[in-house]
């Protein structure tokens, strides 16, 4: 075990050095465009003007981000930002809420904090943009792309070359199935039934994404939700909640199978699965401070940071920023392994670096 930890620690050091180099050197992007769908792990400002408690546009969020608080649910960059750097973009992909003009040619971020596969997910926190509505927003973007490029066929050819990432489903557990006080799903479905229902709906949503031109799609599985600070506090334990993680794994197993099904049915596209469960299990061994870095609000339902309070100083050794979301360093580790798999179990059937070269222009 000590050899494994030492190996992983060496890898982290390498990752940080590589990423720091990437932020200084901007080559031509490896894909012409990059679109992001998901929840608060990827949101970079879409929730800022919504009537919701699920927003992060106040200090100490963004304490390590050049522009300060922007709506990112972490201290610095989120995974979508870091992947943009790895892809060679010289800017972060703008949120749909503020994207305009020619900027949309290189991509849009549609992710929304507390959003889920199911439309009602997260509703007790206020407004959010579920995956169904994110897909509708993407269709609005496509109509603008057609105007910019000149015709629908050319716009579709452009979209075929883009990278798409989708990270959704955590809130369908955290802010739905695991909250019987607000949602009936826990009483109506067994964990297996619920996972099957989510995957069935998700499959239809991904079909819509394909029909709208997506050909290179990375699907992020769910992390170890049973190990996040919110679950530990909820169950008054210091060890991961096995029942929660077992339910999460049912979803992940079905999502991995869905990737095979999608690749079989849509031969002009390539889907890949990012094993965030495996990646987050290794991340848990990297920190002796596996607690939230900021002071958690006791008056809101979101498990988020108290506004204006000074967070911990040793942010680099923390996995969690608040009760739900990783720190920038944890985001770096996760996305580097998604982009260039460190272990064979990290991605299936390929990592993102191979995904972006796997589909020829159509």
Catalytic residues: 40, 322, 325
Q: Which one, of 206, 222, 224, lies nearest residue 214 by Cα?
A: 206
Q: Strand 270-274 relative to strand 347-348: parallel, antiparallel, unpaired?
A: antiparallel
């Amino acid at each position: 075990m000590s050899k494994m930890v030492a190996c992983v620690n060496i890898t982290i050091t390498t990752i940080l050095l590589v990423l720091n180099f990437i932020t200084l050197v901007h080559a031509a992007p490896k894909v012409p465009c990059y679109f992001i769908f998901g929840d608060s792990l990827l949101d970079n400002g879409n929730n800022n003007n919504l009537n919701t408690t699920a927003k992060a546009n106040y200090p100490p969020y963004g304490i390590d981000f050049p522009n300060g608080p922007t709506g990112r649910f972490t201290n610095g960059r989120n995974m979508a930002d870091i992947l943009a750097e790895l892809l060679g973009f010289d800017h972060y992909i703008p949120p749909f809420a503020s994207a305009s003009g020619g900027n949309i040619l290189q991509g849009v971020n549609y992710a929304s904090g507390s959003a889920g596969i199911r439309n009602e997910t997260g509703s007790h926190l206020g407004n959010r943009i579920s995956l169904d509505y994110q897909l509708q927003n993407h269709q609005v973007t496509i109509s603008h792309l057609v105007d910019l490029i000149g015709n629908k066929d050319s716009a579709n050819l452009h979209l075929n070359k883009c990278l798409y990432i989708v990270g959704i489903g955590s809130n369908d557990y955290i802010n739905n199935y695991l909250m019987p006080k607000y949602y009936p799903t826990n009483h109506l479905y067994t964990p297996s039934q619920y996972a099957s229902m989510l995957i069935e709906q998700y499959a239809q949503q991904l079909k819509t994404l394909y029909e709208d031109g997506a050909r290179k799609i990375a699907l992020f599985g769910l992390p170890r939700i049973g190990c996040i600070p919110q679950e530990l506090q909820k169950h008054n334990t210091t060890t991961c909640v096995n029942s929660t993680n077992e339910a999460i794994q049912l979803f992940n197993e079905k999502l991995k199978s869905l990737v095979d099904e999608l690749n079989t049915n849509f031969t002009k596209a390539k889907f890949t699965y990012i094993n965030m469960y495996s990646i987050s299990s290794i991340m848990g061994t990297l920190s002796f401070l596996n607690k939230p870095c900021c002071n958690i609000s006791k008056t809101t339902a979101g498990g988020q940071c108290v506004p204006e309070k000074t967070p911990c100083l040793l942010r680099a050794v923390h996995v969690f920023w608040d009760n739900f979301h990783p720190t920038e360093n944890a985001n770096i580790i996760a996305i580097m392994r998604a982009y260039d798999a460190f272990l064979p179990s990290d991605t299936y059937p390929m990592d993102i670096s191979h995904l972006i070269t796997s589909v020829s222009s159509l």
